[in-house]
Copies of this chain bind each other. A is one copy, B any other.
Amino acid sequence: MGMQHTPLTMSRIINRGAVVQPDSEIVTATGDGVRRQTYSSTVRRSNQLAHALRRDGIAVGDRVGTFMWNGSRHVEAYCATANMGAVLHTVNIRLSPVDLEYIIGHALDRLIIVDADLLPLLEQLSDRLPFVERYVIAAEPGFENWETSLPNAVDYEDFISGMPEHFDPPALEESAALGLCYTSGTTGNPKGVEYEHRAQYLHTLTISMTDAMGLSATDTLCGIVPMFHAMGWGLPWAALMLGCKQVLPHRFMSPERLVQLMVDEQVTLSAGVPTIWQGIKGFIDQSTDAVDLSRLTRVTCGGSAPPASLVAWYWNELHVEMIQGWGMTETSPLGTLARRVAKRSHIDGSPAQLIDNGCKAGLLMPGLELDIFDEDFNRLPHDGESVGEILVRGPWICSEYYKNPQPSKFHENWLITGDVGSIDEEEYLIIADRSKDLVKSGGEWISSVDLENHIVAMDGVEQACVVAQPHPRWDERPVALVVVGSESEVDEEKLKNHCLLKFAKWQVPDDVLFVESIPLTSTGKLDKKAVRAKLKEDGYVLPELRN
């Protein structure tokens, strides 16, 4: 043994930002402005929180829930639990009461930290969570006088008040659990993914690489992706390690507020799902005032693939690089990432090629293995044509689900992701539709994602969602739900003609429904399951089949 075998525990890296940049800020949006807090204060407060949790009997391995927006107290909860060895269960605030009851009960959270404005959502369940010993209420301005029917509730500030500001992290194994996050499964109960210190430590280093998200100590990061979703894509950890200024939108998720926050705080890097970026594009397009986002250089876009028109708009209008990433709760989450200029051959690439790079899911992160397979687990060629099931393995990939191993989701140590895609000759992963999102018409497949990306590129279209509807002869036919801007002149005929520019006639949707909004999943993706359910509930019938 020639080298020290220092355990890769998060406390070794996440307290560094406050050491090297103690005055760097964490800015949280409030009803009438922002709250500011330094890194040194954040670490002191997180140490107080760790002591308070210990006083309440929370021990290494115990689950501490958060039911919170992105804000400085959520960051403190990340820090405190990581330093003390508790397991942070980031509860998705958008889940249904049934799912909430299930996952909190499955995780057996001993204590839950709740944003005061979210209390009503948990109060519905208060008598069904007897194992939760304590609720700690985080009150943003305007909510200081919270009241709740939840038992043993205490104000966050009272809870940590008077606790020591220094905390010595206990020795932990690097395989110790760090976090717990449930996937919003499409079938069956949600499944828990347990993050470990070592895995997240490696993930943190990796996303800070120049060729990944390129985070730097000099960045101002606006994490829009919820911190309850796959550890906020790991960004809170990397920011804590580097001391990046963090700008957190809390519950203020309107495009207008987000843009204002990014302008005011001179954000350089942000992260969110495509619908966020569509919304911000829509706001800027309609804004009559100039919007100064000149400091913003790149936005990471994940959850689902952004349309090419969106990637191009951000580059051409704002000179902002949209970095597409692919991953999932089970992959910590970063699997692949697509930079505009990712290879030497791109240095003199054409504008079109560089946009095209951003429309792929990207290149695999170092240390992971990823490939596409047929149904018998034979590897498929990397020719950009062959589409197969995506399997991935490596040091930050889930090996089993929490208290529910699900061996059928794994194959010889590989995670079967449920996503399908191709890999091109440049080794780029390109995600295809999940099989349940393909439209099967007359024995042929129609890609709903391709149709959506094409439709949303039309002037005046803000969102588009294509789902399959049953048809006695063709099996299924595509139907498009579309949200248009207030002054849009898009109608059904124009939209279908637009589709014919790229698609065969039989691939064009049979019907176009102009709607006010499209339901999104708790992670901001188009919720096609809900769309299909609503159409069924409304008794929707394809035009051709109506009497």
Interface residues in chain A, defined as those with a beta carbon under 8 Å from any beta carbon in chain B: 1-6, 8, 12-13, 16, 19-21, 23-24, 175, 177, 193-196, 198-199, 201-202, 205-206, 208-211, 214-218, 241-243, 245, 332, 341-347, 363-364, 366-367, 369, 393-402, 413, 426-427
**Provided the pairs A19-B427, A175-B5 are in contact, do residues A211 and B211 lie with their beta carbons within 8 angstroms?**
no
Nearest-neighbour CB distance to chain B for A193, whole angstroms, equals 6
- Residue ID in chain B nearest A14 by CB atoms: B366
Nearest-neighbour CB distance to chain B for A260, whole angstroms, equals 21
B209–A1 CB distance below 8 A = no
Q: Could you show 26 A-B contacts with beta carbons less than 8 Å apart?
A: A1-B194, A1-B399, A2-B196, A2-B400, A3-B175, A3-B199, A3-B395, A3-B398, A3-B399, A5-B399, A6-B394, A8-B202, A8-B367, A12-B367, A12-B369, A13-B367, A20-B426, A23-B345, A201-B367, A205-B366, A208-B210, A211-B217, A211-B242, A218-B341, A218-B347, A243-B344
CB neighbours of A243 from chain B (8 A): 343-344
A343–B3 CB distance below 8 A = no
Nearest-neighbour CB distance to chain B for A470, whole angstroms, equals 39
CB neighbours of A6 from chain B (8 A): 367, 393-395
CB neighbours of A201 from chain B (8 A): 367
A343–B2 CB distance below 8 A = no
**Provided the pairs A217-B342, A343-B217 are in contact, do residues A4 and B394 lie with their beta carbons within 8 angstroms?**
yes
B413–A4 CB distance below 8 A = yes
Nearest-neighbour CB distance to chain B for A132, whole angstroms, equals 22
Nearest-neighbour CB distance to chain B for A85, whole angstroms, equals 15
CB neighbours of A210 from chain B (8 A): 208-210, 214-216
- Please state the number of chain copies in the assembly: 2
Q: Which of B177, B216, B344 contacts A24 (CB 8 A)?
A: B344
Nearest-neighbour CB distance to chain B for A380, whole angstroms, equals 16
Nearest-neighbour CB distance to chain B for A222, whole angstroms, equals 15
Nearest-neighbour CB distance to chain B for A228, whole angstroms, equals 17
Nearest-neighbour CB distance to chain B for A12, whole angstroms, equals 6
B211–A1 CB distance below 8 A = no
CB neighbours of A245 from chain B (8 A): 344
**Provided the pairs A208-B211, A215-B210 are in contact, do residues A195 and B344 lie with their beta carbons within 8 angstroms?**
no
CB neighbours of A21 from chain B (8 A): 343-345
The 7 tightest CB contacts between A and B, nearest first, are: A2-B194, A3-B199, A6-B395, A205-B205, A3-B196, A210-B216, A4-B399
Nearest-neighbour CB distance to chain B for A524, whole angstroms, equals 24
Nearest-neighbour CB distance to chain B for A378, whole angstroms, equals 18
- Residue ID in chain B nearest A410 by CB atoms: B4
Nearest-neighbour CB distance to chain B for A54, whole angstroms, equals 24
B211–A209 CB distance below 8 A = no
Q: Which of B2, B211, B366 contacts A13 (CB 8 A)?
A: B366
A312 to B367, CA, bound (A): 38
Nearest-neighbour CB distance to chain B for A522, whole angstroms, equals 21
A209–B205 CB distance below 8 A = yes
Tell me which of A6, A367, A402 has the highest count of chain B C-beta atoms within 10 A of its own C-beta. A6
A398–B367 CB distance below 8 A = no
A24 to B344, CA, bound (A): 8
A6 to B3, CA, bound (A): 19
A4–B397 CB distance below 8 A = yes
A395–B8 CB distance below 8 A = yes
B3–A195 CB distance below 8 A = yes
CB neighbours of A20 from chain B (8 A): 342-343, 363-364, 426-427
B205–A202 CB distance below 8 A = yes
Q: Which of B2, B195, B393 contacts A398 (CB 8 A)?
A: B2
Q: Which of B2, B193, B346 contacts A2 (CB 8 A)?
A: B193
Nearest-neighbour CB distance to chain B for A416, whole angstroms, equals 14
A344 to B26, CA, bound (A): 13
Nearest-neighbour CB distance to chain B for A282, whole angstroms, equals 31
CB neighbours of A393 from chain B (8 A): 4, 6
A79 to B218, CA, bound (A): 35
CB neighbours of A175 from chain B (8 A): 1, 3, 5
Nearest-neighbour CB distance to chain B for A214, whole angstroms, equals 5
- Residue ID in chain B nearest A199 by CB atoms: B3
CB neighbours of A216 from chain B (8 A): 210-211
CB neighbours of A211 from chain B (8 A): 208, 216-217, 242
A210 to B394, CA, bound (A): 23
A200 to B396, CA, bound (A): 18
CB neighbours of A345 from chain B (8 A): 21, 23
CB neighbours of A218 from chain B (8 A): 341-344, 346-347
A472 to B214, CA, bound (A): 58
Nearest-neighbour CB distance to chain B for A48, whole angstroms, equals 23
- Residue ID in chain B nearest A13 by CB atoms: B366
A332 to B242, CA, bound (A): 22
CB neighbours of A369 from chain B (8 A): 12
A211 to B363, CA, bound (A): 21
A251 to B511, CA, bound (A): 72
